[in-house]
Structure 1
């Protein structure tokens, strides 16, 4: 029997068949993403949260065989591309500008929050993967970190539901922190530099960090942005460690070493690191940076919408109170740890 596609037309025929199977799901997620973007632009509020809630309302379509392949594509390939393009926002020069004391404080607070998440998850009867995902979402960059980790952790319906709950909760906590933390920084008489470190080191999502930081002035806003981008850069290391740990557990004992090494680092992580290096060398034209940022954001909104389509509110309610307690504890710990670092003067 002849292969289905042979000769020069094979790639075109394969692409046509792939699009024919997935375009309906892709269009559904695209419409949801555009609606979320429009509402966020007109009325304010978190775009990702809108996409998530709109997506959940279309969960009934996920069982349709014509819709599911496109939704799955958005939660896999599109998601990974969105995370990879975040690398174009970070340079090694920005990280170096923090100084070694502040950089060490960022690493210590991130690491302690991730370890707290893993340890507390076990105490609450959740598994290690859930503790790692919630800890990284809190410590690094909110919904983006949750989505990046979910791409390399073992996939299951329960894990997808947990990821969705993490995205909803950290987005809500990040929005509250955006309103409360500037008031707290002012009440504690933090200097603009200290306030920037506190805001950039403790709020989950990039957009909320920028908004809260510049409420306290240009110095605080600039510092908060750089600290936040440094936290985002740590995502690559955490995803690499998670991929190594979980792939080594599930690897077939007969698999060759060469295959293991090539499968160890996901392709989107290589692209993330390459973009960081290119941006550090100023090899990316400045005119392209807004476009890359927009494409990254659009991909993440599409992925969030698809994740919502895959999950129902009834399934979310079955996760119980433990994930909420886990995320709340991690959020409080991260904020308190930064206040302790700043008030003790350990960043000087």
Structure 2
């Protein structure tokens, strides 16, 4: 048993170490130049695509792109709790839930009309509706394996990160133009911007109150990752996955996410562990994104087409419109 584990670790180490080095480089660029870390990770990884076909490094890179990802997503459970619902308020909880559900369902209904399949619709709609690159990675891990899967995931991560960065800049201006108060602005920013980091940046650029509210709403959206992935796995399992592969009814990383969220809700997680767990989760997710980049061909990425970016942009506008309309009604 020990020899098997040692042998497996030796096989995985070269590729895993390379993915971690790319992730650290992306983190350095993010901290020193303000570049989105997920975008940097995937862009730095893509020129190294040849390493994913090298016998010594391929196993570790593949491990990082799937297993490391799932561990990182599971650890996100320590960031959320049921107490968030009370702080946000029932009306705004319903609004955010409605925005997420409407975006995913509209994507599934409308994206096939422009020539993309429902797997691509679920991947992009879920990424826009929930938490950007992290949601894209989690949803991708339950989709049936297919020839264009890695390419679609890389494209989605790049596009959703670019759109999220653009929203971080423009949405506070839009909120001010529309005359939203600090609470409404926080709900709008947290309920529409894709990635957590960009929500924090946008919210606290307005005020501390708006930053607190927007971050809380965003973390509530993160909690919706588990039920959306579970329902997606349930549908794919019933349909045979459009490729014959049946995903597990409850993916292990989703069960771990829910368990950690329950432990956090019960108050069993010491405050001193929250920051390290958050840092580890983020590091694992960035490493996984770097590995996805290393498995993505630039030539293949071009084949996705401009219409796919248009789909993601339309989904982004859609969820923003739903939240704004809801805020006007409430």
TM-score, with length taken from structure 1: 0.91
In structure 2, what is the Cα distance between the partners aligned to 1:101 and 1:336? Answer: 17
Match of 1:46 in 2: 36
In structure 2, what is the Cα distance between the partners aligned to 1:48 and 1:13? Answer: 36
In structure 2, what is the Cα distance between the partners aligned to 1:331 and 1:155? Answer: 26
In structure 1, what is the Cα distance between the partners aligned to 2:188 and 2:26? Answer: 30
Post-superposition Cα deviations, 1:52-78, rounded to whole Å, max 9, x if no partner, equal 000001011111111110011011110
Query: What is the deviation of 1:328?
Result: 0.7
Match of 1:232 in 2: 222
Query: What is the deviation of 1:216?
Result: 1.4
Query: What is the deviation of 1:324?
Result: 0.8
In structure 1, what is the Cα distance between the partners aligned to 2:248 and 2:154? Answer: 26
Match of 2:267 in 1: 282
C-alpha contact 1:214 1:220 (8 A) present in aligned 2? yes
C-alpha contact 1:120 1:326 (8 A) present in aligned 2? no
> Which one is further off, 52-61 or 114-123?
114-123
Which one of the candidate residues 142, 146, 149 is aligned to 1:159? 149
Query: What is the deviation of 1:157?
Result: 3.0
CA RMSD of aligned residues (A): 1.3
Which one of the candidate residues 196, 208, 228 is aligned to 1:218? 208
Query: What is the deviation of 1:322?
Result: 2.4
Which one of the candidate residues 97, 113, 122 is aligned to 2:103? 113
C-alpha contact 2:136 2:157 (8 A) present in aligned 1? yes
Match of 1:66 in 2: 56
Residue correspondence of structure 1 range 1-348 to structure 2 within 5 A: 10=1, 12-250=2-240, 263-344=248-329, 346=330
C-alpha contact 1:32 1:54 (8 A) present in aligned 2? yes
In structure 1, what is the Cα distance between the partners aligned to 2:190 and 2:224? Answer: 14
Post-superposition Cα deviations, 1:290-337, rounded to whole Å, max 9, x if no partner, equal 111011001101100000000011100011122111101000111111
Runs of 4+ in 1 over 4 A off after TM superposition: none
In structure 2, what is the Cα distance between the partners aligned to 1:275 and 1:154? Answer: 27
In structure 2, what is the Cα distance between the partners aligned to 1:30 and 1:226? Answer: 30
In structure 2, what is the Cα distance between the partners aligned to 1:319 and 1:263? Answer: 29
Which residues of structure 1 form unaligned runs of 5+? Answer: 1-9, 252-259
Which residues of structure 2 form unaligned runs of 5+? Answer: none
In structure 2, what is the Cα distance between the partners aligned to 1:180 and 1:266? Answer: 37
